[in-house]
């Protein structure tokens, strides 16, 4: 991408990692001073430049990637004076509570201090909920000094788990502290909170999972010693097997099993405890981690292998564990192991089993084709004699086009695709595969019955597959049930096919479904064409929630109407405005309200009286009746935040 193109949209500079150029961009904009308005209006929202989400994304990247306070400050100040013909960007348009939390969890202390300073100077608003969220996420930084600094802004003792939301945020505080591996943060919460999560059995269970996720042996030891948390269970062992932490595995075993006196220690009872293993006294649930050293350790301590150990090893494709099982005298006890390995795409295991148990293969080729394992298919053709006559059917139904092409080239004994396979491929929505089969095996399509083709025609219509739909129409000729297919297209939003056969759409509820599709995708030309062919329609008010484009709205109310109001009038638009508010189409609300002749006559019903924006206490439409421009400005700001202008 050229520099000139990137300059038009700064989000591209972030996407390509050009942070120095991004700094240059904002420095240039900042130095324009009086001419900045003319400069910035060149960036049209219609061209998707300077969107709210892009700007917020840039600010987050500066925090996480750059950790540059001066540059972050420059961007914030630059955004604070960018003006357009419809809005002046303000700091309040951005969630600085989230930015502060992001800076805290990434240990960006200088940016944290800058944002807090903005709040102190009342240039931005950060409330108690924001600070609590920041405190809950700050342990992720593993910086206890930063955590204690932020704790000064939160009266944690006043936060009681009386409501579910507060209980959740307190639990999240504890969980993040445990995940970070910071004993100090956890102890701080215990000392300052009136609710101790570690004293609640349900919360303690969640915190034990967080301790495992921390991979911190010190945190586990601390919880085990001070809170008597038990980690000798399958979930804990599986996690530490997955991260290959033999030190933690050994500590868990030694501290919770071998510490028992001999007279109390029943080894079989420990390893056969269903609470510990959850699904049986064996190691078969751990082999998928591929951690041989851990398996050997527990096996030496008396853990059983389990009846499905070989099945799980083959599925996991770990040849080293498989060799170890043979070394300790556990023979392969799975029927057709090559088939099993093939079904999971484990090529290395397939080749190893071929050298150990070459007899264990019956349906490997079919399984390899259905799984889209081309490399295994090729290897089986070279090293095995088994063949699968219906291979093309199998590959087509599973959308494995590369395998179909390879089979056509390398196996001339295969049967052509059956009509059943073609229909199933259509029903599976593998339409590119259907086109490929039609180009290469047209004779298979000619063998389809009229009923089969009409059934598939309806399925193609409801999925709006125009190319294949026309192919089937041509093959069926005058036997094609087009009217029924178009009916399916309208009901299931087959937009292209419906537009092609507008004259077949009956003036009923089906027409509503078609109009809804045209309106929601914002196709003005199709809307005009449909209006010419179908005439004026009066639709339900509920269709209002599907409008996204102002041009579509203007054309619709000029040429159509609503059943509740056949002739639309901006003087009585209250029900429309409420539906637009529910669907959060703020740019359309602005457009409608700007056409209201007298804002003081706008009637506020019970529904409109509850419509508020953000932290504003006054309902937005009540404000409109008294302060029109201020209400429109707030709606424009909300539209900006939602990337609608």
Domain presence at residue 190: no
CA dist 331 and 322 (Å) reads 10
**Residue 566 pLDDT level (bands cut at 50, 70, 90):** low
Q: Are 465 and 426 in contact (CB under 8 A)?
A: no
Average pLDDT over residues 314-323: 91
For 17-28, the pLDDT digits (tens) are 676 767 666 666
CA dist 266 and 283 (Å) reads 18
Average pLDDT over residues 161-179: 83
Domain presence at residue 89: no
Handedness of CA 405, 406, 412, 417 (dihedral sign): negative
pTM score, whole prediction: 0.70
Q: Are 133 and 95 in contact (CB under 8 A)?
A: no
Residue 282, strand partner residues: 304
Residue 511, Cα to own-chain centre: how many angstroms?
34
Kindly state the helix (H) or strand (E) to which residue 538 belongs, with its residue range. Answer: strand 538-539
* More confident position, 101 or 498: 101
With a cut of 80, say whether residue 561 has pLDDT above it: no
pLDDT at 500: 82
Domain that holds residue 557: 533-641
Domain presence at residue 502: no
Task: Give percent above pLDDT 90 in the chain.
Answer: 36
pLDDT at 87: 66
**Residue 510 pLDDT level (bands cut at 50, 70, 90):** low
Average pLDDT over residues 13-18: 69
For 349-386, the pLDDT digits (tens) are 999 999 988 887 888 999 999 999 999 999 999 998 88
Give me the helix-helix angle, 586-594 and 574-582, nearest 10°. 160
Domain presence at residue 629: yes
Number of domains comprising the chain: 1
DSSP, residue by residue, 245-285: -HHHHHHHHHHHTTTS-TTT--HHHHHT-HHHHSS-SBSTT
Domain presence at residue 571: yes
pLDDT at 92: 76
Residue 250, Cα to own-chain centre: how many angstroms?
38
pLDDT at 641: 82
Calculate the CA dihedral of residues 180, 183, 189, 194 and round it to 10 degrees: 130
């Amino acid at each position: 991408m050229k520099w000139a193109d990137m300059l038009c949209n700064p989000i591209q500079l972030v996407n390509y990692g050009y942070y120095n150029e991004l700094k240059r961009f904002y420095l240039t904009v900042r130095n324009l001073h009086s001419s900045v308005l003319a400069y910035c209006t060149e960036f049209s929202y219609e061209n998707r430049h300077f969107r709210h989400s892009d700007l917020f994304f840039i600010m987050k990247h500066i925090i996480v990637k750059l950790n540059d306070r001066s540059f972050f400050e420059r961007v914030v100040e630059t955004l604070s004076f960018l003006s357009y013909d419809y809005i002046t960007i303000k700091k309040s348009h951005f969630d600085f509570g989230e930015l502060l939390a992001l800076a805290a969890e990434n240990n960006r202390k200088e940016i944290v201090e800058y944002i807090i300073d903005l709040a102190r100077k009342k240039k931005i608003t950060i409330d108690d909920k924001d600070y609590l969220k920041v405190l809950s996420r700050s342990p992720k930084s593993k910086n206890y000094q930063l955590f204690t600094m932020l704790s000064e802004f939160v009266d944690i003792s006043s936060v009681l788990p009386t409501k579910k939301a507060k209980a959740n945020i307190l639990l999240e505080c504890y969980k993040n502290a445990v995940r970070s591996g910071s004993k100090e943060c956890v102890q701080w919460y215990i000392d300052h909170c009136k609710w101790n999560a570690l004293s609640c059995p349900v919360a303690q269970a969640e915190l034990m999972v967080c301790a495992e996720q921390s991979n911190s042996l010190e945190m586990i030891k601390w919880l085990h010693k001070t809170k008597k948390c038990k980690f000798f269970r399958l979930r804990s062992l599986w996690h530490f097997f997955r991260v290959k932490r033999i030190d933690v595995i050994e500590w868990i075993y030694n501290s919770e099993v071998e510490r028992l006196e001999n007279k109390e220690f029943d080894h079989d009872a420990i390893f056969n405890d269903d609470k510990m293993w959850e699904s049986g006294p064996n190691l078969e649930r751990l082999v998928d981690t591929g951690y041989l050293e851990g398996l050997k350790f527990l096996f030496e301590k008396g853990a059983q292998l389990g009846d499905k150990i070989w099945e799980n090893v083959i599925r996991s494709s770990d040849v080293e564990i498989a060799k170890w099982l043979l070394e300790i005298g556990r023979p392969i006890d799975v029927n057709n192991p090559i088939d099993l390995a093939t079904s999971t795409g484990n090529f290395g295991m397939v080749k190893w089993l071929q050298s150990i148990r070459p007899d264990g293969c019956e349906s490997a080729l079919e399984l390899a084709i259905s799984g889209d394992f081309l490399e295994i298919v090729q290897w089986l053709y070279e090293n095995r004699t088994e063949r699968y006559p219906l291979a093309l059917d199998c590959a087509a139904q599973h959308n494995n086009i590369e395998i179909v092409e390879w089979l056509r080239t390398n196996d001339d004994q295969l049967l052509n695709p059956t009509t059943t396979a073609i229909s199933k491929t259509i029903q599976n929505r593998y339409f590119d595969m259907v086109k490929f089969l039609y180009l290469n095996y047209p004779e298979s399509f000619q063998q389809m019955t009229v009923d089969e083709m009409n059934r598939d025609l309806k399925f193609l219509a409801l999925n709006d597959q125009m190319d294949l739909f026309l192919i089937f129409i041509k093959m069926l000729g005058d036997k094609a049930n087009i009217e029924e297919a178009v009916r399916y297209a309208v009901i299931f939003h087959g937009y292209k096919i419906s537009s092609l056969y507008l004259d077949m759409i009956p003036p009923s509820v089906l027409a509503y479904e078609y109009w809804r599709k045209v309106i929601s995708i914002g196709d003005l030309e199709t809307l005009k064409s449909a209006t010419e062919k179908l005439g004026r329609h009066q639709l339900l008010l509920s269709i209002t929630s599907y409008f996204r484009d102002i041009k579509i709205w203007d054309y619709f109310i000029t040429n159509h109407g609503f059943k509740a109001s056949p002739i639309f009038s901006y003087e009585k638009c209250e029900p429309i405005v409420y539906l637009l508010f529910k669907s959060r189409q703020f740019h359309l609300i602005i457009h409608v309200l700007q056409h209201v002749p007298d804002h003081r006559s706008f009637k506020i019903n019970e529904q409109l009286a509850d419509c508020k924006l953000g932290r504003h206490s006054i309902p937005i439409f009540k404000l409109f009746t008294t302060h029109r421009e201020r209400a429109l400005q707030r709606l424009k700001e909300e539209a900006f935040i939602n990337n609608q202008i």
